[in-house]
Structures are given as C-alpha cells and as structure tokens.
Amino acid sequence: MQKVDVAIVGGGMVGLTLATALSGNGLNIAVISNVPLEQPVPESPLLRVSAINEANREALRALGVWQHLPTDRIAAYGHMHVWDKDSFGHIHFDHEQMQRPQLGHIVENQVLTNALATRVTGQDDTVVINSAINKVLWGEHETMLMLDNDDVLSCKLLVGADGANSFVRKQAGLPISFRDYGHTAIVATVKTSESHDQTARQVFTPHGPLALLPLSDPHLCSIVWSQHTEQAELLMQLSEEDFSHALTAATNSEAGVITLDSERQSFTLTMRYARQWVREGAVIIGDAAHTIHPLAGQGANLGMQDALSLARVLKQLHQENKSLSRLRYLRPFERERKAETMKMISAMDGFKMLFEGDNPVKKMIRGVGLMTTDHLPAVKRKLISQAMGF
C-alpha cells in the first residue's frame, strides 16, 4: 500500500497545475488518471483551446512550465474587439493601454496539458498512477482509495480535479446546483482571408455570442459559437460552405471571408456550482466545482486559480505542521474561491441576459453602454485588468 499526503484525481490542466505547484515543499503527491497524461497532438490545431490570462501565464512561467510550450502552438493576442451585431455598439481593448506586450494567449488544451505532464512526471515527490478508483473509504485521519488495478492508496487529502461529472464530488457527497444555459457551443478551426492581426474578436448575435480566437498562423482562428440550442442544431446541419457563409455574415466580414478548416464539434452548456467544495479529507476544484458560460473565456482560468490557491493553503498548513484534511483549515480556501466563482457566474448571467435577443430597447442600452465605456480609459483599464487576472 502506498501512502501520500495529497492524492489528485484528474490529469487535466487543473489537476496538473496543482501537482506542479505543490512540488518541492516536502509533500508527497499522487496524480490518479485512468488515461495517459500526455496525448499525441496532430499537426493541425486542436479544436479545444483556452484563453490563458496573464496572471496564470506568469504563474505557469514561475512553475517552469510556460517556457517549455512549443511556440508554434501558442498565440499571443494584443487586441480585443467586442461588438453587438447590427448595432453601433462596440469596444476595443489594446495591450498598450495596459503597458503589456500582450493581453493573453490562446493555447490548445492538450498542448498545455502535455507541458504540465512533462513537468509532473519529472518530479521526485510525485507518483503518477494510471488507474481508476473503485471505492473510497473515508477515515478520520486518512482516506483509502481502492484502485481498479487492485492496489490501495492512502492519502491525507483527496482532491477532485476530475471534471464536471466528478467521481470524487459524488463520493464525498458534496451537493451541486446546476442550470441549463439553453445554449450549445460549436467549436471549430476556421481560415480567414485577412490576417487576424493578433486580435481576439467577439460578436454578440441575437442567438448568442461568437468568439474568434487567433492562433499562431495569422489566418487561422479557433471559434466558439454559442447559440440557442435549436439554432446551433441548424448550424451543425449546414454544409461546410453554408456554415462558412453564416460565419462570415455573423462577423460582418471583419476578418474577411471565413472558411471552415476542420470538423465541427458541439456541446451543451450548463452552469454548475457546488454548494460545498470541502469536507473532512476532501476538496474539489476546477470543473468539478463549477462550470460557466464560455462567453468570457474564463473557465480554465478560474480552475487554474483554484489550483494555485489550494496549493498556497496546503503548503502553509504543511509548514505549520497542521492537518491537511481538517475541514476548518480548508474553509478559508472554500470561501475565497466560492466568492470569486459566484462573481464570475453572476457576471456571465448578466452579460448573457443583456446581450441576448434583438429587442430595440436592449440594443440601444447595449450600444450606448459599449460606446460610453470605449471612451472611458480608466474603466477600460479596470475591465481588461480583471480579464487578465490581476
């Protein structure tokens, strides 16, 4: 039987960020995943990408991860343009306003996961277990994990970073609230006839937002097109040519003619929020604790901040020789991250409600609001600073 201090279930970006941040502090760590941490990536861009903000990029650099990402698979963006479809309202953000070289980076999820996995597998204090958990036996001071390879693992703290359908959350009995957004997101890679000019674009259409995220090739973008589910189903049924025409029309040809450059994938959007994140011996982070609408591209950033915040708490507890499993010591982490998550969920709900539909009064409010904000430098700096994670 193996014994560790912290067992992390989930080998994605969030779980591996936690494992990396905990390393080198006298803790023994296990990462449990039933799939290999590293996956081969094709030459063409992967469909699932994340907009990593500057705060998380700096954290990843400090952890020795960011600088080892392949430069041809990450794309910095220095500009953002947001507008309301068929309206006068728009707003521009520029990296020079923040005196920064960029506003953020678009990274393929598996590419970042691979870089984190390389770091984690090289840590002397971390063991990677390729297995699933059959049973969890909760104890007062330690938790026993019965693995499907017939091994047994003992840990002081079990961390669920295992996604929206978290096994750890269910085993720990942590309650969750959820709500269907009524949207389905379509993701794909597209080619633009004009250079994206390192600009992230988002247009609010009556049926939902469309984001164009610049990739390293100046004529390739990743799209996240969130639409009412009925509308999304119609778009998925279109031919490639008709879908490309619909994209070009939705963006007012701002990036020129858009053509589909990959397959299309779709997934329904659901808001999830765990009402309790911690219990004696267990904690959940990332999508296991919350999922939000992708219209602001903050889901991955929230999860990574969960991991970094939890790492700070656990390292302090270890330094002070306090129990890693006690509920009262984990509560401060829960309060901090639940508050940040609720603010983000509320903001996403507000944006979705305000920018949805083509009611003339709402369109006027949106237009005036966007144009007014665009002419208030101090307000713009505050908004973009928050988006950058500062």
> Which residues, 6 or more positions from 112, have their beta carbon under 8 angstroms from its beta carbon?
13, 50, 52, 65, 69
Between the alpha carbon of residue 153 and those of residues 144, 261, 315, 349, the distances in Å are 6, 45, 21, 41
Which ranges of the chain have pLDDT less than 70?
352, 354-355, 357, 361-363, 366-367, 374, 376, 380
Q: How would you classify residue 135: left for phi > 0, otherwise alpha for psi between -120 and 50, otherwise beta?
A: beta
Architecture in CATH of 66-108+182-269+362-387: 2-Layer Sandwich (3.30)
Residue-level pLDDT at 370: 72
The pLDDT value given to residue 374: 67
Global pTM reads 0.93
The domain 2-41+109-178+270-349 belongs to what CATH superfamily? FAD/NAD(P)-binding domain (3.50.50.60)
Alpha helices, H only, the chain? 13-22, 54-62, 109-121, 167-172, 229-237, 240-250, 299-319, 327-355, 360-374, 377-387
Instruction: Give the residue extent of every domain in the chain.
Output: 2-41+109-178+270-349, 66-108+182-269+362-387
Q: Which pLDDT value is given to residue 380? A: 66
What's the confidence (pLDDT) of residue 383?
74
